Amino acid sequence: MTKIMFACKKNSCRSQMAEGFARKLGAGKFEITSAGIEASRVHPTAIEVMSEIGIDISNQTSKPISNFQASDYHAVISLCGCGVSLPKEWLLQEVFEDWQLDDPDGQPIETFRRIRDEIKERVSNLLGVRY
């Protein structure tokens, strides 16, 4: 089974939303994880905007990428331009992409919705499935 890591700075918003989409869209076909350069919390507004479209990420947790081994993953997707900050082994996996999406933290809910929709499109394309 293809294993995908979604990485971000704090594993709070963007990577959590990507994990939620990938789990829903790739159920049974992909093993999905998200992590951050540092762990924090799953942002309540990220939980809210995902629930608006029927995806519950309230049980997901924020995890540091240091808890995982890069060699266990086929694809590594950075959502925030943090690729430059990831340990080198994460950049050397079969697939590495750096999506460089805006950080919605501290922004109005409309920004969270815009970023959510961008992530939905990118995850759909990555997995080769439609939402």
Q: Which residues are catalytic?
A: 8, 80
- Are the beta carbons of 46 and 16 closer than 8 angstroms? yes
The pair of three-digit structure tokens given for residue 124, joined into one six-digit string: 């759909």
Helices (H) and strands (E) in the chain, counts: 4, 4
Q: Is 92 exposed, middle or buried (0-12, 13-18, 19+ CB in 10 A)?
A: exposed
